[in-house]
């Protein structure tokens, strides 16, 4: 086995890469599972005694997800076993800890959850970069238990610069001590009727460390942005534009703005552009989603701050960004089953293609044909002359009107010439044509499902940009790629 001839430190690096790739692959699944992260590592560990020792002694870092009641033997049996294995046989540690829908009862937290954490303190000792609490319905007893657990975790487990994240389903505004020091606050539930109370708390400087705020159900008043002086990321339903154009707009430190339902009429585009440029002068990342509008005029052109390089949106909303010169990265979802037209036409791509360096496209539809899919990919490669990376993925929608019910399609099978979509052409010929097209273009990486087609000119800098988009914005570009093929053969 050639791997055994390598120095031990090189093998350790390979093992860490395997773990990190599995983490990336599972990003889109909200609950990370250590078994999924370890699939390749466990196989490698079982190969021989030397690899067993190297893998066990390598400082690997994993996510720890505590679901429901920690003491429930059926729900947490695997986690208990894994913790015992880590403590007794390995040098591994936990890097993130997420308490997901955990029941913070008095007797459980004091004698169960906290005591187990303390008993296995070495697995969490100053190695945790992020704490994540998904809190259920609030009460004073739950707040007290969370405070006790959080105090111990901050003192014993959280590394310097580590982040604390709270997701609250039903906010308990009577007692906010548990979240005063959080970096990331996500509120889902009844905030709509208590928004003024929350704004008052923010205005009273109750959240000095708050840098990321998620309010997915709120249409956020632009006038209230001035209260969030330290905020760097804001995720909301939409911005409430000022009715009076003479109202002074305050600039913010926000670099990432996520709008889950950016309902915008033609007569609001100019005002919206002014708000983006004046209130978000440091904006780098814009997520701009809306399934409402289906038609656009030639005047529907957004203006973005010159700092904004990265956009996530639906493909039928590309028309908004025709004149945005600063955008280099697009993450698109091609979805509109009721819209009988093709989005990736050459006229639009020619406009965007002179400046786009990376594009990720997820094709979704009730019916997908190989011909339409390959035609769209060819148009992107042909017209986007500055494109270095193209990542494509596709799924079939189980229902006509919902993005939630999806069936994944393995695009690696298309690369190998297998027939998985409705037959209306020769897949192998289409792939040969696409590879020929790629050879004559600047494109360095074509990622299709779990297969990467690459040129030898693909460099470390390029992979660094991909890793950055995955780490910072949770883009799923590489998807744990398992096959690498040369575009130059």
- How much is the pLDDT for 30? 38
Q: What is the mean pLDDT of the chain?
A: 77
- How much is the pLDDT for 400? 52
Q: Which residue has the higher pLDDT, 14 or 254?
A: 254
- How much is the pLDDT for 154? 85
Which neighbouring-strand residues pair with 234? 213, 257
CB 428 within 8 A of CB 467: no
- How much is the pLDDT for 338? 45
Quote the number of domains for the chain: 1
Residues 6+ apart with CB under 8 A from 477: 360, 389, 391, 447, 466, 469, 470
CA quadruple 291, 293, 297, 302: dihedral sign: negative
Say how far apart CA 28 and CA 212 lie, in whole Å: 19
The DSSP secondary-structure symbol of 112 reads I
- How much is the pLDDT for 114? 73
Residue 379 forms part of a structural domain: yes
The DSSP secondary-structure symbol of 160 reads E
Model confidence pLDDT, tens digit, residues 38-72:
777 878 888 888 888 888 898 888 877 776 554 54
- How much is the pLDDT for 73? 43
With 50 as the cut, is the pLDDT of residue 339 above it?
no
- Determine phi and psi for 59, rounding to 5 degrees: -75, 90
CB 282 within 8 A of CB 307: yes
Say how far apart CA 398 and CA 31 lie, in whole Å: 23
- How much is the pLDDT for 358? 94
How many CA atoms does the CB half-sphere of 180 hold within 13 Å? 11
Q: What angle do CA 134, 136, 139 make, to 5 degrees?
A: 125
| pLDDT range class, residue 205, cuts 50, 70, 90 | low
CB 132 within 8 A of CB 148: no
Residue 216 forms part of a structural domain: no
Residue 364 forms part of a structural domain: yes
Q: Of 62-66, 141-145, 184-188, 356-360, which has the strongest mean pLDDT?
A: 356-360
Q: Residues 32, 37, 39, 40: what is their CA dihedral angle, to the nearest 10 degrees? A: 160
Note down the domain range covering 407: 331-489
427: its two tokens: 């897949």
- CA distance from start to end of the chain: 27
Residues 6+ apart with CB under 8 A from 119: none
Among candidates 435, 431, 486, 477, which has minimal Cα distance to 457? 486
| pLDDT range class, residue 84, cuts 50, 70, 90 | confident
Residues 6+ apart with CB under 8 A from 136: 101, 102, 103, 104, 142, 169, 170
| pLDDT range class, residue 29, cuts 50, 70, 90 | very low
Q: Which residue has the higher pLDDT, 346 or 232?
A: 232
Read off the pLDDT of each residue in 245-269 and give the average, rounded to a whole number: 86
Write down how long the chain is.
489
Residue 175 forms part of a structural domain: no
Residue 343 forms part of a structural domain: yes
- Which stretch of 159-168, 306-315, 348-357 has the lowest confidence by average pLDDT? 348-357
Residue 414 forms part of a structural domain: yes
- Which stretch of 117-121, 181-185, 341-345 has the lowest confidence by average pLDDT? 341-345
- CA separation (Å) from 56 to 24, 37, 117? 22, 15, 21
Among candidates 207, 159, 161, which has minimal Cα distance to 187? 207
Residue 447 forms part of a structural domain: yes
| pLDDT range class, residue 204, cuts 50, 70, 90 | low
Which percentage of the chain shows pLDDT scores above 90? 14
Kind and range of the H or E run holding 483: strand 483-486
Residue 154 forms part of a structural domain: no
Strand, coil or helix: 323: coil
């Amino acid at each position: 086995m050639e791997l055994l001839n390598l120095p031990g430190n090189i093998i350790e690096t390979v093992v860490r890469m395997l773990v990190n790739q599995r983490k990336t692959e599972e990003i889109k699944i909200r609950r990370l599972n250590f078994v999924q992260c370890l699939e390749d590592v466990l196989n490698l560990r079982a190969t021989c005694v030397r690899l067993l020792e190297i893998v066990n002694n390598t400082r690997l870092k994993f996510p720890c997800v505590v679901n429901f009641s920690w003491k429930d033997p059926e729900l947490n049996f695997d986690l208990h076993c894994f913790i015992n294995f880590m403590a007794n046989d390995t040098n591994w540690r936990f890097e993130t800890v997420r308490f997901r829908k955990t029941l913070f009862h008095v007797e459980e937290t004091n004698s169960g959850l906290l005591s187990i954490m303390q008993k296995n303190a070495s697995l969490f000792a100053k190695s945790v970069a992020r704490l994540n609490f998904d809190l259920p319905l609030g009460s004073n007893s739950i707040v007290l238990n969370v405070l006790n657990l959080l105090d111990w975790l901050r003192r014993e487990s959280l590394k310097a610069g580590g982040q604390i994240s709270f997701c609250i389903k039903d906010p308990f505004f009577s007692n906010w001590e548990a979240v005063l020091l959080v970096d990331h606050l996500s509120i889902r539930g009844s905030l709509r009727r208590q928004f003024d109370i929350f704004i008052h708390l923010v205005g009273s400087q109750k959240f000095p460390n708050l840098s990321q705020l998620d309010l997915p159900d709120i249409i956020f008043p632009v006038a209230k942005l001035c209260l969030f002086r330290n905020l760097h990321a804001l995720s909301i339903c939409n911005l409430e534009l000022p009715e009076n154009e003479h109202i002074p707009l305050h600039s913010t430190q926000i670099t990432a703005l996520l709008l889950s339902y950016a309902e915008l009429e033609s007569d609001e585009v100019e005002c919206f552009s002014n708000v983006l440029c004046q209130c978000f002068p440091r904006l780098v990342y814009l997520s701009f989603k809306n399934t409402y509008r289906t038609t656009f005029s030639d005047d529907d052109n957004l203006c973005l701050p010159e700092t904004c390089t990265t956009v996530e949106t639906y493909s039928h909303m590309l028309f908004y960004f025709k004149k945005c010169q600063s955008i280099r990265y697009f993450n698109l979802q091609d979805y509109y089953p009721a819209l009988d037209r093709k989005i990736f036409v050459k006229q639009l791509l020619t406009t965007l293609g002179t400046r786009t360096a990376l594009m990720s496209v997820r094709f979704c539809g009730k019916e997908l044909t190989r011909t339409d899919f390959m035609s769209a990919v060819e148009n992107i490669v042909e017209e986007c002359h500055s494109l270095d990376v193209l990542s494509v993925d596709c799924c079939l929608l189980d229902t006509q009107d919902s993005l939630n019910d999806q069936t994944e399609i393995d695009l690696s099978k298309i690369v190998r010439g297998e027939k998985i979509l409705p037959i209306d052409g020769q897949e192998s010929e289409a792939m040969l044509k696409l590879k020929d097209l790629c050879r004559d273009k600047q494109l360095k990486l074509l990622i299709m499902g779990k297969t990467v087609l690459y040129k030898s000119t693909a460099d470390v800098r390029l992979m660094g940009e991909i890793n950055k988009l995955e780490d910072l914005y949770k883009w799923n570009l590489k998807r744990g790629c398992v096959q690498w093929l040369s575009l130059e053969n």
